[in-house]
Amino acid sequence: MTTKLMGQPVQRVEDRRFLHGEGRYVDDILAGPGAGPAVLHAAVLRSPHAHARILDIDVSGVLDVDGVHAVYTYDDLSGPMAEPLPVLIPHPALTHGRTQYALARDEVNHVGEAIAFVVAEDRYLAEDAVNRIVVDYEVLPAVVGLDAARAADRLVHDDVPGNVGARLEQTVGDAPAAIAAAPHRLALDLEIERSACMPLEGRGTVARWDHDSDRLVLWSSTQTSTGVRAAVAAKLGLDIGRVDVITPDVGGGFGVKIVHPWPEELLVPMAARALDRPVKFTEDRREHFVSSAHERGQTQHIEVGFDDDGRLLGLDVEFWHDHGAYTPYGLIVPIITSTQLLGPYKPGAYRVVFESLYTNTVIVTPYRGAGRPQGCFAMERTMDAIAAYLGRDRTEVRAVNFIRPDEFPYDHGLVFQDGRALEYDSGDYPASLDKLRKLIDWDGFAEFRRACAEQGRTVGIGLACYVEGTGVGPYEGAHVHVETTGKVKVATGLTTQGQSHQTAFAQIVADELGVRFDDVEVVTGDTRRMPYAVGTFASRAAVMSGSAIHKAARRTREKALRLAADALEASVDDLEIVDGIVGVRGTDRSIPLGTLSVLSNPLRYAFDEASKAATQFSVGDSEQPPVAEGDQPGLEGTDFYSPEHATFASGMHAAIVETDPDTAEIRILRYAVVHDCGNLINPMVVEGQIHGGVAQGIGGALYERMAYDDSGQLLNASFMDFLMPYVSEIPDAIDIDHLETPSPLNPLGIKGAGEAGVIPVSAVIAAAISDAEGFPITAMPISPSDLHTLREEHRP
């Protein structure tokens, strides 16, 4: 019997090419001496000002540069390319949505906004040419930071009053009244700074116009090939059927590669078609800082009413979201904060209102966790404040507010980011908390603290809980094809950027189809292989494509069994598939899947041994057409998965930190995670996702901030200055325990796991520092100098 692979820590099949330098990232496409027609390289002139009117652009010095092929400004754009880029996810509350042009027209609204696009024989020459473009600007005052945006003394867009792009309110019950009537009340102001995804591979696009087939082929380092395809077709005025988008290996995404279309994703194919040469754009690191996307910047005001046990009676949250200069991705991030901050708790009456505000800074799109780290920080700091006020243990106050295991499915009465009900499918929060208390030794901490104090060391412990809506729709699809060799080719349209999809999806197919794992090959993100797809974000790949692949494999299996029953003259119920061979249970009669693949396609020649072998089996009824009505040739199956709403993963983290009494250095001594993403496909992969998420969370908690000055210049736009954790900043062990509460929403019982690790980290670290120092921490990230300043404030 074949061993079931679901739940096993199967080693990754993708590793070989990565370990031997054979990965194919976008910049590797059409690279090197054997790459065919010489590729041209693009560079972009970007605004040096955060806010300015463009009075004149003089490109006359550019085309004289030897090796330069073209220069484009807004005046060279036509048709849909000359219109503003789309607002991808419109929302009724987004009353003042604004987007940039592919190349700036008249005005720039952040440092880094694209103004001109140069194509030359290599990137060095293209940059030389960019430096020769002369732009005459009228510099305007910049709006930087939420305080300036809210003050609205200056406007980012003249026609957006108060800099308010959107205002959205949701209510369940009458929160202000419930708070007013509650035995106890607290108010908190909490802030999180801007950070950014910073994948090690920046953005990149390569395009080639193929005259022989009259098609555009485009490679992009994106999280959504199909989105790029549709956007490019729309903007360049091409039939979508003439555009192929291929996403090869992607060197990390974390959200930032979701936006489509980036200006460069449109300009590169436009130039490739016009110049009849392949064109490549590979972003450099400074460009990534100033022209891709950031997230996290939010200030939040919370009012809460509760009883003597700490039970929430009313929760009223108001927050201000900094969405930067434009709103191409709509209101996803603040909507997620506003709904997901509730975590595993019942809020009593709830009111949440946010304003999404324009600033003259880089745009905001979802970064791993997407609004949840801010929301979790708000809710968990509130829980800690209630515990402190009542003098109760922090775990007790949380436990009293948990949604109970018997209350699922639990409908919060709110609308989630996907426009669907915020309804939790399953979970067991008390069990999760039990595991966490054991994992971090919550009860033994007091003794540890005493022992540390005797050595003059200051330590603190903190915890935080979260629930994460994962696997949002609308759908994903899959195609499973058994070749005549018995090899199984699987295609799904969403992309992959390190989440081990080739391995995890092959595990699902091997289990369902009864084939060897090694015989399954998975292709992702290639619109030629699966043109219907959404993308890899929102911890949705395993849930969405995993389920679609499972369903497509089941269809393929059903067809194989039907064909085998004919060929073996047996009943389908008596058949089993083991290691790619269909056999009649209890007999030696069998037929390989490869042979069934031959039989499934009656237009046959004896191409090979498999075809020859197939001729020994009878082929259907000679009275019927070779391909029966309603049937199709080929041993393959296509299916789609489209859920009613998201699945809700959950988890709880705890940490012990030590703060240096002199230097205020913050060191994480221990970090513990309890994680529930339903049934695990591959625990090794899930733990890897958690490790990475926690590391990014530690970066967000202690180091990462976007240091804009008042004029809108980003002062730390390099890896030298924007600090991300090396191994030296990450604790030596991140202890993980799993809980598996299967989701009833999909056939595999799984929930997403990609973002979980990052969500509660700022809340956990803030709680632990607060516990160590004895005063509240209300803003993250926190540096040693921030902590030093707080000590001065709190200790007279």
Partner 1 sequence: MNEIRRETRHEIRLRVNGVTYELRVPARRLLSDALRHDLGLTGTHVGCEHGVCGSCTILADGEPVRACLLLAVAATAHEITTVEGLAGPDGEPNAVQRAFAECHGLQCGFCTPGFLTTVTAGLRRDPCPTRDAAREMIAGNLCRCTGYQNIVRAVERAAELESAQEPAR
Residues 335-374 that bind partner 1 (CB under 8 A): none
512, 554 Cβ separation under 8 angstroms: yes
Beta strands in 548-604 (DSSP E): 575-578, 581-584, 590-592
With a CB cutoff of 8 Å and minimum separation 6, the contacts of 694 are 653, 671, 673, 730, 734, 757, 758, 761
296, 319 Cβ separation under 8 angstroms: no
Separation CA 125–CA 151 (nearest Å): 44
CB closer to partner 1 out of 353 and 684? 684
Please report the sign of the dihedral spanned by the C-alpha atoms of residue 344, residue 345, residue 350, residue 354.
negative
CB closer to partner 1 out of 386 and 685? 685
719 binds partner 1 (CB under 8 A): yes
Q: Which stretch binds partner 1 (CB under 8 A): 12-20, 82-90, 306-314, 429-437?
A: 12-20
DSSP per-residue letters across 273-299: HHHTS-EEEE--HHHHHHHS-BB--EE
Min CB(719)–partner 1 separation in Å: 4
391 binds partner 1 (CB under 8 A): no
Per-position x/- string for 731-750, each x denoting binding to partner 1 as judged by CB under 8 A, each - no binding: -xxx----------------
Task: Give the distance between the most distant pair of CA atoms in the chain.
Answer: 98
455 binds partner 1 (CB under 8 A): no
Q: Which of positions 294-323 make contact with partner 1 (CB under 8 A)?
A: none
Min CB(434)–partner 1 separation in Å: 24
Q: Which stretch binds partner 1 (CB under 8 A): 29-37, 50-58, 154-162, 230-238?
A: 29-37
Q: Which stretch binds partner 1 (CB under 8 A): 15-23, 137-145, 337-345, 557-565?
A: 15-23
Q: Which of positions 757-776 make contact with partner 1 (CB under 8 A)?
A: 757
Q: Which amino acid is at 611?
A: S
64 binds partner 1 (CB under 8 A): yes
Min CB(185)–partner 1 separation in Å: 40
CB closer to partner 1 out of 399 and 730? 730
Per-position x/- string for 153-192, each x denoting binding to partner 1 as judged by CB under 8 A, each - no binding: ----------------------------------------
DSSP assigned state of 76: G
CB closer to partner 1 out of 287 and 322? 287
Q: Which stretch binds partner 1 (CB under 8 A): 152-160, 196-204, 452-460, 738-746?
A: 196-204
* Position among 101, 137, 219, 254 found at the interface with partner 1 (CB under 8 A): 254
Tell me, letter by letter, the H, E, C secondary structure of 721-769.
Answer: CCCCCCHHHCCCCEEEEECCCCCCCCCCCECCCCCHHHCCHHHHHHHHH
* Position among 4, 37, 58, 61 found at the interface with partner 1 (CB under 8 A): 61
Min CB(58)–partner 1 separation in Å: 11
Please give the structure tokens belonging to residue 161.
């009053």
565, 644 Cβ separation under 8 angstroms: no
Separation CA 618–CA 507 (nearest Å): 33
CB closer to partner 1 out of 21 and 92? 21
Q: Give the three-class secondary structure for 701.
A: helix
| Of 49, 755, 205, 678, the residue nearest 466 (C-alpha) | 755
Please give the structure tokens belonging to residue 153.
């003394």
Please report the sign of the dihedral spanned by the C-alpha atoms of residue 24, residue 29, residue 32, residue 34.
positive
* Position among 107, 113, 193, 201 found at the interface with partner 1 (CB under 8 A): 201
CB closer to partner 1 out of 378 and 673? 673
Min CB(741)–partner 1 separation in Å: 25
Min CB(132)–partner 1 separation in Å: 7
CB closer to partner 1 out of 398 and 501? 501
372, 761 Cβ separation under 8 angstroms: no
Q: Give the three-class secondary structure for 315.
A: strand
Q: Which amino acid is at 426?
A: S
655, 764 Cβ separation under 8 angstroms: yes
Q: Which stretch binds partner 1 (CB under 8 A): 32-40, 134-142, 410-418, 523-531?
A: 32-40
Q: Which of positions 552-581 make contact with partner 1 (CB under 8 A)?
A: none
389 binds partner 1 (CB under 8 A): no
239 binds partner 1 (CB under 8 A): no
Separation CA 586–CA 584 (nearest Å): 6
Min CB(735)–partner 1 separation in Å: 10
CB closer to partner 1 out of 622 and 728? 728
Please give the structure tokens belonging to residue 487.
């090899």
704, 723 Cβ separation under 8 angstroms: yes
Min CB(33)–partner 1 separation in Å: 6
Q: Which of positions 115-154 make contact with partner 1 (CB under 8 A)?
A: 122-124, 128, 132
248 binds partner 1 (CB under 8 A): no
CB closer to partner 1 out of 581 and 698? 698
142, 360 Cβ separation under 8 angstroms: yes
CB closer to partner 1 out of 22 and 75? 22
Q: Which stretch binds partner 1 (CB under 8 A): 82-90, 154-162, 247-255, 577-585?
A: 247-255
User: Bridge-partner residues for 290, per DSSP?
Assistant: none
Q: How far is CA 375 from CA 342, 512, 539, 646, in A?
A: 8, 39, 17, 18
* Position among 48, 86, 141, 252 found at the interface with partner 1 (CB under 8 A): 252
User: Bridge-partner residues for 523, per DSSP?
Assistant: 491
Count of residues in contact with partner 1, rule CB under 8 A: 71
Q: Give the three-class secondary structure for 702.
A: helix
Q: Which stretch binds partner 1 (CB under 8 A): 10-18, 341-349, 406-414, 783-791?
A: 10-18
Rounded (5°) CA angle 301-302-306: 165
Min CB(695)–partner 1 separation in Å: 4
* Position among 22, 138, 608, 644 found at the interface with partner 1 (CB under 8 A): 22
60 binds partner 1 (CB under 8 A): yes
Q: Which of positions 523-552 make contact with partner 1 (CB under 8 A)?
A: none
Beta strands in 493-586 (DSSP E): 520-524, 575-578, 581-584
* Position among 130, 198, 267, 681 found at the interface with partner 1 (CB under 8 A): 198
Q: Which amino acid is at 513?
A: L
β-sheet with 734-738: strand ranges across: 458-470, 647-659, 666-676, 734-738
43 binds partner 1 (CB under 8 A): no
β-sheet with 204-210: strand ranges across: 68-72, 114-120, 40-46, 279-282, 204-210, 215-220, 243-246
Per-position x/- string for 669-698, each x denoting binding to partner 1 as judged by CB under 8 A, each - no binding: ---------------xx-xxxxxxxxxx--
